[in-house]
Amino acid sequence: MSSFAQPGLQSLLLCSDDSVVRVLRRVLTDLEIGVEHCTDIDTAIQRLTRQRFEAVIVDCTTKEIAAKVLKGTHSSPANKRAIAVAIIDGQSALKSAFELGAHFVLFKPISLERTKASFRSVRALMKRERRRHSRIPVELTVKLSSQNPSRTVEVVTADLSENGIAIKSRSKLPAAFRVRFTLPGAVNDIECRGEVAWHGKDLQGVRFCDLSDDQSARIKSWIFRQLQGGDPDDPPVSCRLTDLSLNACYLETESPFPVRTRLQIVMKVGEMELPVEGMVRVMHPGAGIGVQFTRQNAEEKKRVEDFIHTLVNSGGAVPEIEVRPDAIDNSASAFSAVHVEGDHDPLLSLFHVGNELPPAEFHAELRKQRSVTAEVSI
């Protein structure tokens, strides 16, 4: 099958400050991100209804205008998953920007180097979100099996994404069914529970519901190879580990990811390597992120514990950290309060209230904690 090409990453910029526009144009051009520049709200809203953008960048000098554009972005079918970047005047506007739906912020006066650092994470998420929701045209034979009554039908797909398939069928599907198919060039089947996501005239969308980690990784890998002939991921975002517990870590970075971003993290010290999945619970622009580990069973917690012991006994070795984004999670569970089963974890408890604290106060609490807990501080 030939590779499925897509146009390059695109951004919409609403800003009338020439100095800001000059810096952003240079940064975005260097990162190979297209810029659609607007100076008035009507043109911006019009663009949002007619074009798809991976990022929407808004000068929030006038809060009412910023609110209208960001609301229009989130309600636009084509752009509801776009990464929102707010340009603000200072820390006092930070909370308001996030309440409007911004994922990232840029502080005025914006500098070239600080903006480049911020956009390393923005670009990584833009690419990840686009790939995650891309639909690859492909015809595959799929078996749909229902238990009540027991029957199996064969259908053909129109396209495939990480989250589901579109099938060529007008027949009404049962409420519950199993999905089974084989990716092109693969040997092992993909099999999971499916549910109808949408109906069209000649097509129906089927959402994958209980994919295993292995099956999900195989679909992601196949889609990755189709997009732009295997467009490579950006290099991992540079981070420094400062605090580590069984359930969480704090990473210093100039390029922090937004709250609710799911991350793939690899920590290395000496010959020991620890891969973990996490979700950002606290984000301090230009400074760092607090990450809660997810999908932790007893075996995974034991690996974190062993890594902590190795780190403590390493004679001051600085661990290597690789961080890559997976997705911004907008599910109900991602918005829920931080919860830890079992032992009380002071680091994770701090993340629970961290978003309500100014960055200086948060880091002061973090320093206090280091002197009274067994967590690793680097």
Q: What is the pLDDT of residues 7-23, one digit of tens each?
A: 588 999 999 999 999 99
Measured CA to CA, the distance from residue 253 to residue 49 in angstroms comes to 35
Is residue 104 situated within a structural domain?
yes
Evaluate whether 183 touches 222 at the Cβ level (below 8 Å). yes
What is the residue range of 212's domain?
A: 136-226
Is residue 373 situated within a structural domain?
yes
Per-residue pLDDT tens digits for 53-84: 999 999 998 889 999 998 888 888 888 889 99
CATH number at residue 199: 2.40.10.220
Residue that terminates a domain, selected from 194, 226, 258: 226
Task: Quote the pLDDT of residue 372.
Answer: 64
Per-residue pLDDT tens digits for 120-133: 899 988 888 777 77
Residue that terminates a domain, selected from 226, 251, 276: 226
Note the helical H segments in the chain.
18-30, 41-50, 63-75, 94-99, 112-133, 213-226, 298-312, 332-335, 346-354, 359-370
* Pair 247, 370 in one domain: yes
Say what angle helices 63-75 and 41-50 make with each other, to 10 degrees: 10
- For the segment 195-222, the average pLDDT, to the nearest whole number, is 88
* Pair 282, 370 in one domain: yes
- Residue 236 pLDDT level (bands cut at 50, 70, 90): confident
Task: Quote the pLDDT of residue 342.
Answer: 44
Is residue 210 situated within a structural domain?
yes
Is residue 102 situated within a structural domain?
yes
- Reading the block at residue 144, the tokens are 């749909």
Task: Quote the pLDDT of residue 320.
Answer: 92
Measured CA to CA, the distance from residue 131 to residue 142 in angstroms comes to 23
Residue that terminates a domain, selected from 84, 101, 133: 133
Indicate the pairing of strand 34-38 with strand 10-14: parallel
Under DSSP, the state recorded for 169 is -
Share of the chain above pLDDT 90, in %: 49
* Pair 372, 253 in one domain: yes
Is the pTM for the entire model greater than 0.85? Answer: no
Per-residue pLDDT tens digits for 253-280: 999 999 999 999 999 998 899 999 999 9
* Pair 199, 265 in one domain: no
- For the segment 188-195, the average pLDDT, to the nearest whole number, is 93
CATH number at residue 43: 3.40.50.2300
- For the segment 191-215, the average pLDDT, to the nearest whole number, is 89
* Pair 244, 373 in one domain: yes
Of 232, 255, 245, 224, nearest to 323 by C-alpha is 255
Lowest-pLDDT choice from 29-38, 242-251, 334-343, 353-362 = 334-343
Task: Quote the pLDDT of residue 307.
Answer: 93
Is residue 252 situated within a structural domain?
yes
* Pair 265, 352 in one domain: yes
- Reading the block at residue 299, the tokens are 């075996």
| SS3 call for 271 | coil
Is residue 50 situated within a structural domain?
yes
Evaluate whether 25 touches 32 at the Cβ level (below 8 Å). no
Average of per-residue pLDDT values in the chain: 86
Task: Quote the pLDDT of residue 373.
Answer: 57
* Pair 345, 285 in one domain: yes
* Pair 247, 201 in one domain: no
* Pair 109, 159 in one domain: no
CATH number at residue 252: 2.40.10
Is residue 73 situated within a structural domain?
yes
Domain count, the chain: 3
- Residue 232 pLDDT level (bands cut at 50, 70, 90): low
Of 116, 125, 117, nearest to 24 by C-alpha is 116
Per-residue pLDDT tens digits for 275-294: 999 999 999 988 999 999 98
Residue 170 CB contacts under 8 Å (≥ 6 apart), including other chains:
201, 202, 204
| SS3 call for 130 | helix
* Pair 140, 200 in one domain: yes
Measured CA to CA, the distance from residue 260 to residue 257 in angstroms comes to 9
Task: Quote the pLDDT of residue 1.
Answer: 34
Is residue 251 situated within a structural domain?
yes
* Pair 192, 178 in one domain: yes
- For the segment 218-226, the average pLDDT, to the nearest whole number, is 83
* Pair 55, 102 in one domain: yes
